[in-house]
Amino acid sequence: MAYLSNVRMFVRVHELGSMSAAARDQRTSPAVASARIAELEKHLGVRLFNRTTRSLKPTSNGQLFYDGALKILDAVAEAEGALTHATAQPRGMLFVAAPLGIGRRLIAPHVPVFKDENPEIELRLRLSDRSIDVTTEGLDVAFHLGPLEDSALKMRVIAECPRILCAAPDYIAQRGLPENGEDLLRDRHDCLNLRFPGAREFQWRLQTPEGPQRFKISGPFESDDGDVLTTWALAGRGIIMKPVFEVVDHLLSGTLVPVATATPPVPVTLASLTPHRRLRDPKVTIFTDFIAARIKSALADAEARLAQLPR
């Protein structure tokens, strides 16, 4: 197992380009990561990385070994998968990522039950509203809102997630109630925006009588944390566009009110993304099936509760 641990560390150092980042990823120290790479280099009799004070780059031998190392780890995963089928007991480490809202509300609450049903699976859940590179981060499965651009990933559509525009009563009292997307622009409403590195200009895609249209909105605040935007909206600082399941409690209590209802947001696709080399891993399938069923149930429940609002 020590050799496999060294190979796994090498792969993560290669993919992340940093000894310290790989150490954090593998939940160990940079010193241990460096020692594992040194031990692997000694075993192989070649240098795997060229190191300077500012950079760490794979050598030609390192690049060659990386391709083989992936095959080694995939073979181990496939062997563990075969054992799972033989024993009906999934096992191993599962790396999962999700946006904050989905992770906090639709995934994390169910992880303990999943663990109880699958005691041999260790699960690491990473939550972030930032864009995540599934391959570089070494993830087994990531949950994603929006279109898929990376063809190296297998996309499994879970549901079309309805969204809503809403604001606090205090904001509406001060700025008026916009009826549609045109009102948002004409009256220069403050729209609270989700921002992350590489994000394009802020646009909300709304359903109009002429079909879906993009509205270039603006506002005084932005954040890379969707829950921060909700906090600002509750404080009367602007309008947010949110998945219904995230704000249904606020809508039912009246602390947020639907706006621009004549042009509601176009639903966004909620999907799981999996690297193709992980598709045959039973624990990935078991976990995705488990969570997908609970997400669908939660979305249906949120829609049913929203229907209680007076029209």
Does CATH number 1.10.10.10 belong to domain 1-88? yes
Mean pLDDT of 268-281: 81
Consecutive H or E run containing 216: strand 211-216
> pLDDT at residue 44 above 90?
no
What is the pLDDT at residue 80?
63
Within 13 Å of residue 71, how many CA atoms lie on the same side as its CB? 5
What is the pLDDT at residue 149?
65
Nearest 5°: phi and psi at 45? Answer: 75, 20
Binning pLDDT at 50, 70 and 90, where does residue 191 land? very high
> pLDDT at residue 73 above 60?
yes
Length of the chain: 311
Encode pLDDT of 100-156 as tens digits: 889 999 999 999 999 999 999 999 998 887 777 777 777 889 998 877 665 677 888
Which range, of 21-25, 101-105, 172-176, averages the lowest pLDDT? 21-25
Give me the amino acid identity at 233: A
What is the pLDDT at residue 201?
53
| C-alpha span between 293 and 92 (Å, rounded) | 22
A 10 A CB-CB count for 202 gives 16
For 17-138, where are the alpha helices, taking DSSP H only?
19-25, 30-44, 60-87, 100-102, 111-117
- For the domain spanning 90-158+269-311, the CATH number is 3.40.190.10
- Portions of the chain given CATH number 3.40.190.290: 163-266
Which range, of 74-88, 96-110, 159-173, averages the lowest pLDDT? 74-88
> pLDDT at residue 27 above 60?
yes
- Portions of the chain given CATH number 3.40.190.10: 90-158+269-311
What is the pLDDT at residue 252?
95
- Portions of the chain given CATH number 1.10.10.10: 1-88
CA angle 124, 125, 129 (to 5 degrees): 150
The reply to whether the predicted model has a pTM over 0.75 is no
Neighbouring residues of 72: CB distance < 8 A, sequence distance ≥ 6: 4, 7
Residue 95 DSSP SS3: strand
What is the pLDDT at residue 78?
66
Which range, of 17-26, 81-90, 194-203, 208-217, averages the lowest pLDDT? 81-90
| C-alpha span between 11 and 69 (Å, rounded) | 7
Whether 40 and 34 have beta carbons less than 8 Å apart is answered as no
Q: What is the mean pLDDT of the chain?
A: 86
Within 13 Å of residue 63, how many CA atoms lie on the same side as its CB? 6
| C-alpha span between 127 and 142 (Å, rounded) | 10
CATH class of 163-266: alpha beta
